[in-house]
A and B are shown apart, each in its own frame.
Chain A
Amino acid sequence: MFGALADGTRRAMLADLAVGESTVSRLASPHAMSLPAASKHIRVLERAGLVSRTIEGRVHRLSLRPDRLRDAAEWIAFYRRFWDESLDRLDEVLASFDDGVGETTDTGNAVDTGASAGDAP
């Protein structure tokens, strides 16, 4: 999906669809782009699960599938927080070491050893 999102034209089409459902020609028009070229972009978005198409006779209505975008947004929000907080904690761990003295235990379990590495059980 992130490949589908890596293109500026496709992101603009998603922004248009966020306002409401549309058609291929309406999505193409701001980009001075041929209908086949626009269709190709839209197919990429469909394959990525971001856009769905309903066909009524000769009219193809395209609409946004917000659940997939929300998944991506949640993934990014989760990992932004994950790394921000992990690096905050890393900063605190580094600050808690005495000069030249690191962690001496070899266990892989989280242990609250307090401020002094020398007190590690």
Chain B
Amino acid sequence: MTTGRLLIVRRELAAPPERVFAALTTPAQIARWIGPRGVAASNVAVDLRVGGEFSFDLDFGEAVITMRGRYEAVDPPSRLVHTWGVAGAGDDSRVTIELAAAGAGTELRLTHAGLQPDEFAQNRAGWDEFFDQLDEYLVETGEGTD
């Protein structure tokens, strides 16, 4: 099974990698930042080892969703790889987080990839062109997403 790249997010954080890694993997700290603003996280459980699982609840108001995943790589303080999905749904994806010291802080790179069987050789022409076209189409049809 190969992965299709979906999105990559890069950030500079004002703390050293060890502290960032702790924030990514300690239940009480995870609860303070995971999820969009206004969405409260609770019941965070973490079994931090390859093959171990994590889960937490996100309260979106109309619904409380349980997210969970399994760790595939745990290499403190520089790398964390885990699957990701809604409990009960079969649609898992994979999150890869890489941390590199940058001065007194950390450069974080998060890759969120779908898990898809791919029968054809992947064309690496890039996603941006497609998304530009998709954006134009959605705007033209008046169904623009934000």
Contacts and interface: CB of A to CB of B under 8 A. Distances in A.
Contacts of B48: none
Interface of chain B: mostly helix, strand, loop or mixed: mixed
Interface of chain A: mostly helix, strand, loop or mixed: helix
A102 B29 contact: yes
Contacts of A92: 33
Contacts of B137: 15, 18, 66, 69
Contact of A90 (B4, B23, B118, B131): B23
Contact of A6 (B15, B32, B123): B123
A110 B30 CA distance: 8
Given A5-B4, A83-B110, A89-B32, A77 B118 contact: no
Interface residues of A, number: 48
Interface of B: 4, 6-7, 9, 11, 13-15, 19-20, 22-24, 26-37, 40-45, 56, 108, 110, 112, 114, 116-120, 122-123, 125, 127, 129-131, 133-134, 137-138, 140-141, 143, 145-146
27 contacts: A3-B4, A3-B117, A3-B118, A5-B130, A6-B123, A8-B125, A11-B129, A11-B133, A15-B137, A18-B133, A18-B137, A18-B140, A75-B6, A83-B7, A83-B110, A85-B37, A86-B35, A89-B33, A89-B37, A90-B33, A94-B13, A102-B22, A103-B26, A105-B28, A108-B27, A108-B28, A110-B41
The 4 nearest A-B residue pairs measured at CB: A108-B44, A2-B4, A89-B33, A108-B27
